[in-house]
Chain A
Amino acid sequence: MDKLIAKTACAGLLPLTVGSVSVSEEDVGAITSVSPLKGQKKALSDALKAAHGMAYPAANRATGKSGARAVWLGHSHAMLIGPEPDASLEKHAAVVDQSDAWAVVRLEGDRAEQVLARLVPVDLRSGHFKRGHTVRSLLFHMTASITRVGENAFQIMVFRSMAETLVHDLKRAMEGVATRG
């Protein structure tokens, strides 16, 4: 077989800056789906702490820090982002590698909140959506995971097949916000 060239989800699409907001692709490392087995959430959290230094996240929260994060992704479901999963997790959870299945971008800028306000039907202003908070919601017509990772920075995850749509929708909203002056 010829040598295959690995491409990232947003190759050729990003980075992009419009006005004071920019969006860039994040190389986050491994992305692993972690679903606690029945009654094993506490044990899984302890195993996560021991192996990767962060607890299993409560609903609408992310734990850990840049490079090794656990992001709540839904009902009995979180994503371990960064490290290769330790084998000890498999005793307490269904662990599935999804590294190539997601497009991960970082939206940053002092008007990033206004860009998301045009796309997401949830209030993401810093008053009550703080660093370490996360939501599962819609970004325009796409399901997305949105996490605040900095004062003016968000990590957005969508299915890899939606990468181009994500960039298109973000770009339109960024242009709209920039036009307002």
Chain B
Amino acid sequence: MRITCPHCGERDRREFYYRGAAVDLERPAPDAGEEAWDNFVYLRDNPAGVTRDLWYHEGGCGAWIVVTRDTVTHEVLKTELASEAKS
């Protein structure tokens, strides 16, 4: 598996650390209520298809990257810096 880092270009998967679904970019407000926080902390989609993950370029430039990929075809559709990504 190869991931294209927005800074470094296409790199081997071994350079990256997997964080999980890119929900960290949609953190609810502190007063959003129990249900929103319960969703944020515990509930995840498990799609057969397109999903958005956060990956950390640990063995490289140290950037957090939002990777859009397809869990069925394993195709990586898009990568962008988390600092610039809009949720």
* Interface residue ranges, A against B (CB under 8 Å): 59-60, 73-75, 77, 121-122, 135-138, 143
Contacts and interface: CB of A to CB of B under 8 A. Distances in A.
Contacts of B58: 143
B59 A75 contact: no
A135 B15 contact: no
Interface stretch (B4-12, B22-30, B45-53, B68-76): B4-12
A74 B11 contact: no
A17 B51 CA distance: 50
B62 interface: yes
Interface residues of B, number: 16
Nearest to A139: B59
Contacts of B83: 75
Interface string B10-49: 0110110000000000000000000000000000000000
A135 B8 contact: yes
A74 B63 contact: yes
10 contacts: A59-B8, A60-B8, A74-B63, A75-B57, A75-B63, A121-B11, A136-B62, A137-B15, A138-B15, A143-B60
B60 A136 contact: yes
Given A74-B60, A137-B11, A137-B60, 6 more contacts: A59-B7, A59-B8, A60-B7, A75-B63, A121-B14, A143-B60
Contact of B12 (A75, A77, A121, A136): A121
A74 B59 contact: no
B11 to A, nearest CB: 7
Contacts of B81: 75
A138 B7 contact: no
A137 B62 contact: no
A74 B15 CA distance: 13
A171 to B, nearest CB: 22
Nearest to B81: A75
B8 A138 contact: no
